[in-house]
Chains A and B, each alone.
Chain A
Amino acid sequence: TQLLEQSPQFLSIQEGENLTVYCNSSSVFSSLQWYRQEPGEGPVLLVTVVTGGEVKKLKRLTFQFGDARKDSSLHITAAQPGDTGLYLCAGAATGNQFYFGTGTSLTVIP
């Protein structure tokens, strides 16, 4: 059972463009995390959002947690080649478990 669906699955854009990645679920989560993963490495945490409606900004990245705490989005402004990677959302559910999304592979072309 895949609780978190991400879209799009693949994204290839030119440097300087904006993009949004979506993470959707029918389940409610106590928090939502976003990770970025480089090839051959483990995921690295970008941000944690815990309150419905919360918006967090990390330089050119903007993260939003849905009001009902079932979905989230990641918006990147003026994408750069260094943003290339696999972006994963992860929801914290009851019972000490994290559920990861299906992943979005982003390629930023110089």
Chain B
Amino acid sequence: NAGVTQTPKFQVLKTGQSMTLQCAQDMNHEYMSWYRQDPGMGLRLIHYSVGAGITDQGEVPNGYNVSRSTTEDFPLRLLSAAPSQTSVYFCASSYSRDSLSYNEQFFGPGTRLTVL
């Protein structure tokens, strides 16, 4: 199993450009999520999904869209990039939404995004 994969690993955008960060998992996990990591702030939840066709907002959703058409894929879209979105983005998956408290989250290697 590849686990959780993310592409690209690095990306530089200009302000106003749009792009999609890809995330895929091959563990048949129901729960998937996107976080951003900024210095001194830990990880903050952007959006999450408890299954195909179901998404919801996290702590910092503004400027980002998600969709979940399959169990495996959970792309994150930046609609119009801003310098404040410069960050490291992590995708994570977990086995079951029904017992979230007990479930380990498996993280991808991250995408380092710079917006000029």
Contacts of B92 in A (CB 8 A): 42
A96/B100 contact (C-beta < 8 A), A43-B43, A102-B40 known: yes
Given contacts A33-B105, A100-B42, could you give 17 more A-B pairs where the C-beta distance is less than 8 Å? A33-B104, A42-B90, A42-B92, A42-B107, A43-B105, A45-B105, A50-B102, A88-B43, A90-B105, A95-B56, A96-B50, A97-B48, A98-B33, A98-B100, A100-B45, A102-B42, A103-B40
Q: Which residues of A pack against B, CB within 8 Å?
A: 1-2, 4, 6, 9, 30-31, 33, 40-45, 48, 50, 88, 90, 92, 95-103
Q: Counting CB contacts under 8 A, is B109 at the interface?
A: yes
Candidates B31, B43, B109; contact of A96 at CB < 8 Å = B31
B101 and A30 contacting across the interface, CB-CB below 8 Å: yes
A42 and B109 contacting across the interface, CB-CB below 8 Å: yes
Q: List 7 A-B contacts (CB under 8 A).
A: A40-B109, A42-B4, A50-B101, A90-B105, A96-B31, A96-B48, A96-B50
B45 and A98 contacting across the interface, CB-CB below 8 Å: yes
A31/B101 contact (C-beta < 8 A), A42-B107, A42-B109, A96-B48 known: yes
A104 nearest CB neighbor, chain B only: B42
B40 and A96 contacting across the interface, CB-CB below 8 Å: no
Within 8 A of A (CB), among B39-91: 40-45, 48, 50, 56, 58-59, 90
Contacts of A31 in B (CB 8 A): 101-102
